[in-house]
């Protein structure tokens, strides 16, 4: 009898141990980027650190490579509470928090250092507050480099873009930028781009070097022209109602860990650009600089003016005047 009681007690203790070890929060994080992309490495870090700092209370499962749809699907899912976290481009988020469109204005960033100084400072907090008002919890801006044109022909001047159908994200500043440069902007989900280039539905797209490599776009559009027309950071965000309902200690953990993931990602990004370009060249991609940046600046001048009533001239000036 005693042996049976001991056995039952042991089994109960084991069951309790497993029960206590189960996470209190099971969350999902969606991204369109594949697991070979540097952003994904930062998201893995984010998930691991959340589990560690919460003593196993948080389990964050990653769904990369568009497994849960496109970025617009994530944004809508977070709003209705069917998805907890997402990594999206800050470009499409401008549809929901209008001032965020300032980030996507052409040639507003002098360098990534300039962008960091703006988005990790007071202006970044102001933009995050606007995202909050739109019903989302913004956590971090993450480097996505400078966007340039990848096409089936090299681009040296804006006139080279005339008549070319160029895929863009669903971002009005980006659509207007490509159209102002002389191309025909075609909004399209990321997962559709490769086949659209392959079947000549479009003639090119615009993005950064690591994303070109991650999706093997050099196979269907081998010319990478350094227009550097915009730099639109990635954006890590979550369900605002979920965040607001968390205990204060977990809110702090989520915010601090997102900041650490951003810093890790930005460091990874800087380290890998040269290698990425080298890998792309080895795979047959041809790189070229544009002939005169001033031509491109002149072509997109009207886009800033168009967005002044939407984002505020004061916000544009504040970004431009930040060291």
pLDDT score at 303: 96
Between 27 and 17, where is the model more confident? Answer: 27
Q: Please check whether residue 186 is in contact with residue 168, taking contact to mean a CB–CB distance below 8 angstroms.
A: yes
Q: Rounded to whole angstroms, how far apart are CA atoms 57 and 21?
A: 8
Q: In angstroms, rounded to a whole number, what is the distance separating the alpha carbons of residues 36 and 291?
A: 33
* Crossing angle between the packed helical segments 301-311 and 172-180, to the nearest 10 degrees: 160
CATH of domain 147-231+277-320: 3.40.190.170
- Enumerate residues 6+ apart whose C-beta is below 8 A from 77: 30, 68, 69, 83, 86
pLDDT at 297 over 70: yes
Q: Classify the C-alpha dihedral 203-231-219-225 as positive or negative.
A: positive
Q: What is the pLDDT of residue 36?
A: 87
How far apart, in whole angstroms, are the C-alpha atoms of residue 135 and residue 240? Answer: 6
pLDDT band at 239 (very low <50, low <70, confident <90, very high): very high
What average pLDDT does range 124-137 have in this prediction? 97
Q: Residue 109: enclosing H or E segment and its boundaries?
A: none
The average confidence (pLDDT) of the chain is: 93
Average pLDDT estimate for 116-134? 97
Who contacts 8 (Cβ-Cβ below 8 Å, separation ≥6)? none
Per residue in 158-192, pLDDT (tens digit) is 999 999 999 999 899 999 999 999 999 999 988 89
Of 190, 198, 249, 247, the residue nearest 70 (C-alpha): 190
Is residue 100 classed as helix, strand or coil in its secondary structure? helix
User: Is pLDDT above 70 for 7?
Assistant: no
Give the other-Cβ count within 10 Å of 134's Cβ: 18
> Looking at residue 1, what is its pLDDT?
54
Rounded mean pLDDT of 239-265? 98
Domain extents for the chain? 24-143+233-271, 147-231+277-320
Tell me the mean pLDDT in the region 149-160.
Answer: 97
The predicted model gives 253-263 an average pLDDT of 98
pLDDT over 80 at 238, yes or no: yes
Q: How far is CA 86 from CA 77, 140, 215, 232, in A?
A: 9, 11, 19, 16
Kind of pairing between the strands at 204-207 and 147-151: antiparallel
Tell me which CATH code domain 24-143+233-271 carries: 3.40.190.170
Q: CA 184 to CA 259: how far, in whole Å?
A: 37
Q: pTM of the full predicted structure?
A: 0.87
The CA-based diameter of the chain, rounded to the nearest angstrom, is: 91
pLDDT value, residue 21: 65
Q: In percent, how much of the chain has pLDDT > 70?
A: 93
Residue 305: strand, helix, or coil: helix
Q: Where are the alpha helices (DSSP H) in the chain?
A: 2-21, 38-53, 71-80, 90-93, 112-119, 122-133, 172-180, 193-198, 209-214, 240-245, 248-282, 293-299, 301-311, 313-320
* 193-236 residue pLDDT tens: 999 999 999 999 999 999 999 999 999 999 999 999 999 999 99
Non-local CB neighbours of 163 within 8 Å, separated by 6+ positions:
183, 184
Query: In whole angstroms, how far apart are CA 24 and each of 250, 253, 289?
Result: 12, 15, 52
For residue 303, give the DSSP letter.
H
């Amino acid at each position: 009898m005693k042996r049976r009681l001991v056995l039952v007690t042991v089994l109960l203790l084991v069951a309790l141990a497993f029960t206590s070890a189960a996470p209190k929060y099971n969350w999902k994080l969606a991204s369109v980027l594949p697991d070979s992309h540097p952003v994904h490495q930062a998201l893995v870090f984010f998930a691991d650190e959340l589990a560690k700092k919460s003593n196993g209370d948080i389990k964050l499962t990653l769904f990369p490579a568009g497994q849960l749809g496109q970025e617009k699907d994530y944004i809508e899912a977070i709003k209705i509470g069917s998805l907890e976290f997402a990594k999206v481009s800050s470009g499409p988020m401008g549809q929901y928090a209008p001032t965020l469109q300032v980030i996507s204005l052409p040639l507003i960033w002098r360098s990534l250092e300039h962008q960091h100084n703006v988005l990790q400072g007071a202006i970044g907090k102001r933009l995050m507050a606007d995202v909050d008002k739109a019903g989302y919890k913004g956590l971090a801006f993450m480097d996505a480099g400078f966007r340039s044109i990848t096409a089936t022909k090299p681009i040296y001047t804006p006139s080279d873009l005339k008549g070319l159908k160029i895929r863009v994200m669903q971002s009005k500043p980006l659509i207007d930028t490509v159209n102002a440069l002389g191309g025909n902007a075609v909004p399209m989900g990321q997962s559709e781009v490769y086949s659209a280039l392959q079947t000549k539905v479009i003639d090119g797209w615009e993005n950064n070097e690591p994303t070109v490599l991650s999706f093997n776009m050099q196979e269907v559009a081998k010319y990478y022209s350094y227009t550097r027309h915009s730099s639109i950071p990635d954006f890590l965000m979550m369900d605002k109602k979920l965040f607001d309902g968390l205990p204060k200690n977990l809110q702090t953990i989520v915010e601090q860990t997102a900041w650490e993931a951003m810093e890790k990602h930005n460091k990874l990004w800087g380290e890998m650009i040269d290698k990425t370009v080298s890998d792309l060249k080895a795979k047959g991609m041809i790189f070229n600089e544009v002939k005169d940046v001033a031509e491109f600046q002149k072509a997109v001048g009207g886009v800033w003016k168009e967005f002044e009533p939407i984002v505020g001239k004061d916000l544009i000036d504040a970004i431009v005047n930040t060291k």
